[in-house]
C-alpha cells in the first residue's frame, strides 16, 4: 500500500482516537466508582454520629467544610484538573447525593 498523506492522517486519527477512548473510559469507571463510594460512605456519615446524639453538629460542620473546600479547589481553576482532584470531587458529589437521599427517606 502506498503511504499517502490521507492514509497517514487516517492512521494517526485512528491511533489517537483509540488512545483517547481508552483513557476516557478509564477515567469514567474510576469516577463512577468514586461517586458510588461517596454514596456508600454517606450512609455511615449519617448514621454513626446520630447514635451518640452529641456528634451530629460537629459531623455536619466537618462535612460542609470539606465540601466547600473541595468546591473551592475544583471550581476556582479553569485549567485541566488532576485525576485525583476529579475523583475527590466525584466522591464529594456522592456524599452530598447520599445525604440528600437519606434526608428524603427520613422525611417520608
Tens of pLDDT, residues 26-60: 788 888 999 999 999 988 888 877 677 777 778 78
Sign of CA dihedral 68, 104, 43, 81: negative
pTM above 0.75, yes or no: no
Amino acid at each position: 500500500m502506498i503511504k499517502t498523506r490521507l492514509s497517514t492522517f487516517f492512521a494517526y486519527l485512528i491511533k489517537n482516537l483509540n488512545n483517547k477512548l481508552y483513557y476516557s473510559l478509564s477515567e469514567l469507571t474510576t469516577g463512577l466508582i468514586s461517586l458510588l463510594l461517596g454514596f456508600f460512605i454517606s450512609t455511615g456519615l449519617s448514621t454513626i454520629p446520630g447514635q451518640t446524639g452529641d456528634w451530629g453538629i460537629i459531623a455536619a460542620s466537618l462535612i460542609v467544610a470539606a465540601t466547600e473546600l473541595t468546591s473551592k479547589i475544583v471550581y476556582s481553576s479553569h485549567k485541566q484538573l488532576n485525576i485525583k482532584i476529579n475523583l475527590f470531587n466525584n466522591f464529594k458529589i456522592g456524599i452530598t447525593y447520599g445525604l440528600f437521599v437519606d434526608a428524603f427517606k427520613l422525611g417520608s
